[in-house]
Structure formats: C-alpha cells, structure tokens
Amino acid sequence: MASNVEVAGVGPGAFADKKETAQVDIETGSTDIETVPPTYTSDDGAKDDSESINYHTLTWWQAGVVMIAETVSLGILSLPAVVATLGLAPGLITMVFMGFLSLYSGLVMGEFRRQHPWVQSFGDAGEVMGRSIGMGKLFQEVFGWAQTIFVTFVMGSHLLTWTICLNTLTNSAACTIVWGVVGLAVFWVLNTPRTLKAAGYYSFASFASVFTAVMVTMIDVGIEKPIGTTSIEVSRTVGFTSAFLAVTNIAVAFSGHSCFFSIMSELKEPRDWPKALLLLQVCDTVLYIVVSVVIYLYAGPAVPAPALSAAGSPVVRKVIWGIAIPTIVIAGVIYGHVAAKYAFVRLFARTRHLHKRTAVGWLGWLGITAALWAVAWVIAQSIPGFSNLLGLVAALFTSWFSYGIPGSLWLWMHYGEWFSSPRRGALFALNATLVLVGTLLCALGLWASGEAIARDSGTAPWSCESNAAH
C-alpha cells in the first residue's frame, strides 16, 4: 500500500527547481522517488506552534460537506427552469449523464494527485503536464490563472444572487448596486481566515440553508401552484440557444472541480478523497433530481431562475430567500478562499509569510481577497441575468475544469498504454468523451450564452433597477 508524503502549503511558484515528492510503500519500505521541491520539507506549515499554520485539517466527511456547500448552492436554483426548457425526460437524462461524468472526472483528479502529491491547483497540474513537452511554465500560468478567473466569475454569481435576495427581502428598498457593495463587504470580511478549517463546520449551515429553502419552495408550490400548472411535457422542441444554455446550467450544477485540488491538499488523510467525492455526488445528484422535478411539476413551464422565486406568496418568498442567505454567502466564501489561496501562494512562495502568521502575510491576504471580491462585484453588475451568467461561466470554464482537463490528465498519465488491455481501452473511450464534452460545452456554450446575453431584455447592466423576481 503506497502512501504519499504530503508537502503542506506548497504552491506553483515553488517549483522552479523540481525534485518531486517521494512515494513510499508502507508494506515493503521501498521508495519510488518523484521530484521534490528542495525548498520545502514534508512538515512545512504543520508544526504545532503559535506562529505556524497547519493546512491539513479536514477529515473526509468535512471535505465532503465543504464540497456540498460550494456545489449545491447556485446550480440547484437554475435546474427547475432547465427541466422546463428541455422537457422532463431530456432534462433528467442530461442531469444523470453530467453527474456521472463529474463523479468520474473527480476520481481522475484524485488519481493524478496521488501521483503528484504537491499539486494544489489546476496551475500545478498544468505545470506537470506541460513539463513533459518543455512548456511547464506556460501551462502553469494558463491553467492556474484560468482557474482563478473562473472562481472569480462564480464569486460574481454569488454576489448577483445576494442582490436578488436583498431586493426581494426589502422590496427593493435600495439601489441594486448598493446591495452589491454591501455584499462585497460581507463576503470579504468572511474571507479573512487563511484555511478551510472552519468551513468544515459552517458548511453544515450552508447545506442546511439551501436544503431548507428548496424544501419550503417545493411545499409552497405544491400547495399554491403559484404560476399555474399546464400539461407537463415529457420532451420539448426548443431552439438551439435555449436548449444548450439549459445544458450549460446543468454543467454549472456539477462544477465544484475547480476547488477539488485545493480541498484535497487540506485533507488529513489524502487517501480518503474517494469517500469525500462520493458523499458529494450522491447528495447533489439525488437533491438535483428531486428538487427540479417537483418544482417543475407544480410551478409549471414558466418556473423562474433562481427557483426560490417560484413561491406564490410574497411573504413566503421572503422567508425562503431569508433561509437561503447562509448558502449564498458561505458557498461564495469557499470559492473566494480557493481563488485567494492560489494568488497568495504565487505571491509568497518560498517566504516565511506562506506558513507563518506575519503582518505582511496577513495584509497580503486581506489585499488579495479584497481585490478578488471587487472584480467579482464588477462581473455581477456587468451581467445581471442569473441564467446568462451561469451559462457563460459554464462555457468558458466549467467545460474544461469539470470535464476537458480531467480527461486530458488521464490521457497524459496513461500515454502509451491507452489500449494495453480491454479495461484500459474502455477508460480511454470514457476520458476521450470527457475531452469531447468539454470541447463542445465550450464552443457551443459560448455561442449560445453570447446570443442569450445579447437578446436579454431584463435588468440592464450597472442599473439601480430591482432584479427581484415578482
């Protein structure tokens, strides 16, 4: 049984001179030497003293709950409208198919990190792949900063949802831009901790929040039928733009992969990753199917996105949005942590500020988180349509981080052995499918989301106009 020596808190900037981590076989005592960054030791950041920061704090169930909190948040709010767009059967089939691909791609990422235990981001993974063709630095920059940009877009979608929530709760008592600024301050303050240790606990509040909110929504629409139920369509004939935008919204619902490497790096026991991943995928897939079907059946084909606005009574709608506040905030904070950690590690690699509680490190963290939330606020004000923003995010980034890149990681790890056995051949076909799905989601999704944004007649960008659903 092999165990990987962890290199805590190591980031991509530390690997100019690669030696790699050692893979030690516990049963035989043999060692398969990979490259280890010479400037780090395996206990960096893990010493038990008042100044050091221990980055390995998550049990597998805490990691699973953290992933549920950051995945089952905004995505679930768009799914009833997705089913209404595609029809019941195509919507459910697409949901199950994308869920399976997401589970498998997460397992591939876990396999890759077992071979390269210092990897903490897609930037690190890109550096490993690119090194084999002499383009490690380029791949590191492209993959790493693309991941950070993607996460920042998701942060923007959380800020947008925050403004919808506050407008609903207050009957649009203030300008939408003002609510965005308030949200920016709230998210930034909650992003001050430098590890995910606390997230393992307050993520329970996030999951309980979104679960309760959608349950209350389902009960309300079941009783009130607020929009009016027409005949349920098992399948529908819709235009390409609407159909593919719906597919990209499903992809967003399973798009937690951008955080996976970061969460793996904070596990106490890296070998427990499959258990944490399975907890996530079982919970999110079951919840997505139940919620989307029930709300669609009772709210009808005109169900809005976010789905929490489907409640008929304004009072109940306010109660539901109030319940949803923790998941809107906490999931956004987790994404903010992932983006900030990558930038922080790049800035302070090879310095004591990375692992020690120094004034410079603390000010650097505060500055990075503030800058990222400011950019997210600009995104939220620039693309005020909820489904349109999720579709654009899916096309630009989810297509690659959840599907295309994990498939490429497997093809890279097993290059030259793709057809060495029937099982390996089947896995090759599965991973080639991941790459194909990622490519199609990106190319066609960009076209569909761009057309949808261009023709959207809803709230104008940078407007005080309320974006609450009525």
Alpha-carbon span 136 to 143, nearest angstrom: 10
Domain ranges of the chain: 54-455
Alpha-carbon span 288 to 285, nearest angstrom: 5
pLDDT at residue 232 in the model = 67
Tens of pLDDT along the chain (470 residues) come to 333 333 333 333 333 334 343 333 323 233 333 443 333 333 333 444 555 666 677 889 989 988 887 788 777 888 988 898 898 899 999 999 999 999 999 999 999 999 999 898 899 999 999 998 899 999 998 999 888 988 898 899 899 989 989 999 998 888 999 999 999 999 999 999 887 766 667 777 888 898 899 899 898 888 877 655 556 677 777 778 788 888 888 988 898 898 899 899 889 999 999 999 999 999 999 999 999 988 888 887 878 777 887 777 788 889 999 999 998 898 899 889 889 988 998 889 888 888 888 899 999 999 999 999 999 999 988 887 777 777 788 788 889 999 999 999 999 999 999 999 999 999 999 999 999 999 999 998 888 888 877 777 666 788 888 887 65
Q: Taking the CA atoms of the chain, what radius of gyration do you get in angstroms?
A: 22
pLDDT at residue 331 in the model = 84
pLDDT at residue 36 in the model = 38
Structure tokens at 43: 């206990």
pLDDT digits (tens, 9 = 90+) for 414-434: 999 999 999 999 999 999 999
Helix (H, G, I), strand (E, B) or coil at 58: strand
Terminal-residue alpha carbon distance, the chain: 58
pLDDT at residue 50 in the model = 53
Q: Give pTM, 2 decimals.
A: 0.78
pLDDT at residue 240 in the model = 80
Alpha-carbon span 195 to 213, nearest angstrom: 28
Structure tokens at 286: 């079951």
pLDDT at residue 340 in the model = 92
pLDDT at residue 226 in the model = 62
In percent, how much of the chain has pLDDT > 70? 84
DSSP letter, residue 396 = I
Q: What is the dihedral angle through the alpha carbons of 90, 91, 96, 97, rounded to the nearest 10 degrees?
A: 60
pLDDT at residue 200 in the model = 62
CATH topology assigned to domain 54-455: Amino acid/polyamine transporter I (1.20.1740)
Alpha-carbon span 282 to 290, nearest angstrom: 12
pLDDT at residue 447 in the model = 87
pLDDT at residue 48 in the model = 45
pLDDT digits (tens, 9 = 90+) for 137-169: 999 989 998 889 888 988 998 999 899 899 999
pLDDT at residue 53 in the model = 65
Q: What share of the chain is helix, strand, coil (3-state, %, to 5)?
A: 70, 5, 30
